[in-house]
Amino acid sequence: MTELKKIHPEAVPHALERVERYRLLNQPRVAESICLDILAVDENNQQALIALLLALTDQFGLEAKIGVNAALKYVQRLEGKYAQAYYAGIVWERHAKSRLNRSYPGSGFDAFDELSRALALFDKAHELSPPEDDDAILHWNACTRVIDVNKLEARPDEEPSVQSE
């Protein structure tokens, strides 16, 4: 592969604007690429890390190969327990919704499990959030509504099979 060119550190603010534009244009792969270029020159840029994990979650519905772990590895690099809990919740919420959209056998059970993880993370984020930031509550409510509207429930426990003697 040809060696990638590095952007100038002074170009990072403009590149971040481009990331938002490409996400709005529903071109998450371009946004992902720009984020990787930003992180190549500023590896702890929090805006780029957040935009990257959101661009990855934008791709959940497009490609089954983009999984939760691809986005969660960037959550670990976020500064602060609130940001880590909140954005991990976003990742699980968006992945659960992509499962519902794919509608395969058992997708409702998988979505319920993932939405339950998101709810727990949003609860944690809310405990850590300042009073003027209710984003975690907004997402908690959205997840709860998805569960209710789709009548999602936990996967039933399998009954033990009876062994014949």
pLDDT per residue over 45-72, tens digit each? 999 999 999 999 999 976 666 789 989 9
> Pick from 84, 93, 161: which is nearest to 128 by CA?
84
pTM: 0.89
Instruction: Let me know: does 77 contact 52? Beta carbons within 8 Å.
Output: no
Q: How confident is the model at residue 23 (pLDDT cuts 50, 70, 90)?
A: very high
